[in-house]
Structure 1
Amino acid sequence: MLAIQQSTQHAEKCTPNVLPCRINHNGPVNASTRYWAPETDDKGRSVAYFRGRKLLGRSVKVPDGYRGAVLTKTEKTLQPNGRGPARDASEDADEEEVEEVILMEENASFEEVVVWSHEAMPAETEDPYSKGVQEWIALAEAMHAYTPVEDGKTSKPV
């Protein structure tokens, strides 16, 4: 299981870019404008060139009520219900096994993601990243939806 904690440093705002390529690096890059300089063309489209290939980009906004976060996995763990540090498993032989909670640290936040495609504008309905955001949020909302019980006192999952 994972838990998110705010960074001890100020989390910056950023705009992640999803490029149609595979790069064997995961992390920040000190890219100069020589290598990455997206522009807006006369039709209002985002255009960039990466390694000589023309890319067209579309902004995908994070839906209202949600926010995007760039996270880093840490070595820290958290005991559920704030019971202190994790204990040796042999001490809990009679108790139910408790799943370890790993802390993720927030490094930056974002309100939109730019999805790029080779020489064509990524389609809203066919782009796997856009569809993933929409479908994931719809699934999460369905899982957490409640309907009132007839007596009006409590609610139950749908």
Structure 2
Amino acid sequence: MESDASRCSRDGVTGTIDLSGPAADLTGRLHHLPCCIKQTGPCSVSDYFKPKPTGVVIDGVVVEEAAFRGRKLDGATIPIPDGYCGFVLEKNSNENISSGETNHWRARSKFRSITYWNHDSLPSRDDEFMRLFHWFSVANALHKSVLTDGLESSTNVDESIFDKQVGLDKSSKSNVKKSIEDYPAEIVENSLL
């Protein structure tokens, strides 16, 4: 019998995420700490964890400070970009084995901002956590609708590259207008490398 780990690495893991149910709003109360807390269950966090503003701004990031178990933390609250929402998910114990799903998750809460904390450095735009937010602009660019006009202008390649490879001089170049489709494929491929 093969183990779950080997099956997952070969076949991947499938499942569902249910975002339709009621979810508490944790905006302004969600923190990403630079440590692992091995505790499951309720805790009166607000009695002990009390962030406060410092008045310091670095790279446009407003710095906050707090302490956790006597260790100073510096952090920043980051808004989730427009059009997106963060969710805290909980794994359902009622797994639907008959349909082949191995995981079923449901939203417990949602958030529009998150505060991340550093232990040994001030927050900045170069932090690993902050760089995660660059993927939103990458995702937007990849999934953005492209108009035909925009597509044509992005495929125009600098003709001087082709001129050098096919040996056009200034006098013959002025009378010749060529598009990328007029050149042999090997010239196009070599010039784009």
Both proteins in one fold, TM over 0.5: yes
Q: Distance in 2 between matches of 1:145 and 1:37?
A: 41
Gap regions ≥5 residues in structure 1? 80-84, 87-98, 151-158
- The match for 1:138 is 137
Q: TM-score when scaled to structure 2?
A: 0.55
Match of 1:13 in 2: 25
Matched with 1:82 is none
Higher strand fraction: Structure 1 or Structure 2?
Answer: 1
Match of 1:60 in 2: 78
Judge conservation of contact 1:57–1:116 (CA < 8 Å) in 2. yes
Percent of residue pairs bearing the same amino acid type? 26
Matched, 1:22 2:36: yes
- The one-character-per-residue Cα deviations of 1:49-101 (angstroms, maximum 9, x if unpaired) are 1111111110111000000110112245679xxxxx62xxxxxxxxxxxx637
Whichever structure has more helix as a proportion of its residues is 2
The 1:23/1:122 distance shift into structure 2, 3 A limit, reads same
C-alpha distance in structure 1 between counterparts of 2:141 and 2:63, whole Å:
34
Please say if 1:103 is aligned against 2:104: yes
Aligned length: 129
TM-score, structure 1 as length reference:
0.65
Mapped partners of 1:142, 1:78: distance in 2? 36
Deviating above 4 A after TM superposition, structure 1's stretches of 4 or more consecutive aligned residues are: 76-79
Residue in structure 1 matched with residue 127 of structure 2 by the alignment: 127
Paired residues of 2:95 and 2:101 also in contact (CA < 8 A): yes
Q: Which structure is richer in relative contact order (CA contacts within 8 A, separation 6 or more)?
A: 1
Task: Name the larger-Rg structure.
Answer: 2
1:73 to 84, 91, 116: 91
Counterpart-to-counterpart distance in 1, 2:141 and 2:34: 31
